Structure 1
């Protein structure tokens, strides 16, 4: 999530008050510092997702309000499949005739499991996939990254249309993206290069043309460079966050104090 998507100081202060009010509804008294810390930890998530989670907590919890309880409900609503469903999607994608809509985490986890699957060890491949998938989803949720769905195209045109239209109905991809896929599929034949690209997902080796091979090498180079740049940016951000935390907490406390004067009974 971009830093620009993070809540403002005033929004964090209001969230802290909402957390304190939710705790009070549950018969719990929470300190200002605790509410502030919870709000700051939640500030990277969408406001509507947090609001829905707090509402669910008020309806469902019988014990104390905790950060884990709030996060659990936010993350459960992010649209990512459970691990078993994710494995089923990955297996479907291995069938070259099937068009499958999958998340980035499924694709990455399948990359980790594919070498084991190629050896014929489906049980070992499943274990590797589930381990990688759970780790990737945990990281994505911790960083408040929304689920990103993409289409893995199969060769069967009827199944393509069915899968893409279903994905649009389920709002996994936008209507515009679905229309573009369907338009492209109806007019574009599968080339040898298309089969080579599909082979990156299915594991079936199809030799690409020299031009495509050069393009794939360029893409790999760009991806490698982007990852290195992302790692550097994460390190810089972590260092900046440590420096910024104290000042942000002071601002939030001041905002909470001002709001409490406006709403003395909250």
Structure 2
């Protein structure tokens, strides 16, 4: 759910009428003052989201219309995943080769649960994560903060394409922002040339452009050299990868500290 300015007085008045009408559909009578108070409490949310929440109330509620019922449906539209999906996303970050798209709340909750997870208690870590996550999400929703998705980059370049493309398809990151991520990671959108490069890994046959053939040949030679590397060279590569991993972990912890500092300053 994107951020927006507070509703105008006319929009609040129209919302109050819609709340009154919804209550009548549910067999309830609301005073004008009560409807106006509810409308004012909902005025910091986008008009279409509130309208959709009222529609859901008319279809789903069997009892009285309450502000809590409306808010529950408004907040559920903010794009934040439920606790189980959030934990699955969080635990995926343990694979350093995986690129993961996660929210601020997931990252902060994972930082809170990490000591338990590092101790080997996965069940306890999940409980700690969910407790922190639900608290952070509730706080963000009370403050009407829009969800913020960002990318945690893994080492496997091919997985970056999949993760970022999926996030764009699920509208978790805008198309423009996703394309920028791909460009910043030196990964181009899938084209015929892109599929030809991917074919080196998957074995799928595709025709590259003539200007790309020389580059493909160089890539193939490079891959053959890697396969033929001796044990000493492989050890050097592992040491280099470990160094990169340490740098990435330090970056993630710095991001967590920055998020915590911003929340503390608000």
Residue 108 of structure 1 deviates from its aligned partner by: 0.6
Q: Distance in 2 between matches of 1:147 and 1:2?
A: 7
Counterpart contact for 1:96–1:154, Cα < 8 Å? yes
Cα distance in 1 for partners of 2:16, 2:111 equals 41
Identify if the C-alpha distance between structure 1 residues 62 and 122 changes in structure 2 by more than 3 Å, giving closer, same or farther. Answer: same
Taking a change above 3 Å as real, the CA distance of residues 197 and 15 of structure 1, as seen in their structure-2 partners, is: farther
TM score, norm. by length of structure 1: 0.72
Q: 1:10 to 1:194 in 2, by over 3 A?
A: farther
What TM-score results when the alignment is normalised by the length of structure 2? 0.72
Q: Are the counterparts in 2 of residues 95 and 202 from structure 1 also a CA contact under 8 Å?
A: no
Note the C-alpha offset of 1:164. 0.6
- Alpha-carbon distance, 1:3 to partner: 10
Structure with more relative contact order (C-alpha pairs < 8 Å, separation 6 or more): 1
1:197–1:55 CA distance, 2 compared to 1 (3 A): farther
- Taking the aligned partners of 1:79 and 1:222, their CA distance within structure 2 comes to 19
Which residue does the alignment assign to 2:118?
A: 118
Q: 1:100 to 1:2 in 2, by over 3 A?
A: closer
What do residues 82-124 of structure 1 show as CA deviations (whole Å, max 9, x unaligned)? 1011111000011101001111110010010111111222121
1:235 alignment partner in structure 2: none
* 1:224-263 paired onto structure 2 within 5 Å: 224=261, 226-227=262-263, 229-230=265-266
Question: For the structure 1 residues 123 and 140, does the alpha-carbon distance in structure 2 shift closer, same or farther, using more than 3 Å as the test?
Answer: same
CA contact (8 A) 1:94 1:201 kept: no
Larger radius of gyration: 2
Q: Which residue of 2 aligns with 1:206?
A: none
1:165 Cα offset (Å): 0.7
- 1:199 aligns to 2:257 (yes or no): no
Does residue 76 of structure 1 match 2:76?
A: yes
What does residue range 22-41 of structure 1 map to in structure 2 within 5 Å? 22-41=22-41
| Counterpart Cα distance in 2 of 1:200 and 1:54 | 45
Q: Give the equivalent residue in structure 2 for 1:129.
A: 129
Structure 2 stretches of 5 or more lacking a match? 188-239
Structure 1 residues 129-149: Cα deviation after superposition (integer angstroms, max 9, x where no partner)? 000000011111111112111
Partner residue in 2 for 1:238: none
Structure 1: give runs of 5+ residues left out of the alignment.
Answer: 204-215, 231-266
Matches within 5 A, 1:6-85: 6-85=6-85
What is the distance in 1 between the residues matched to 2:15 and 2:28? 17
In structure 2, the partner of 1:144 is 144
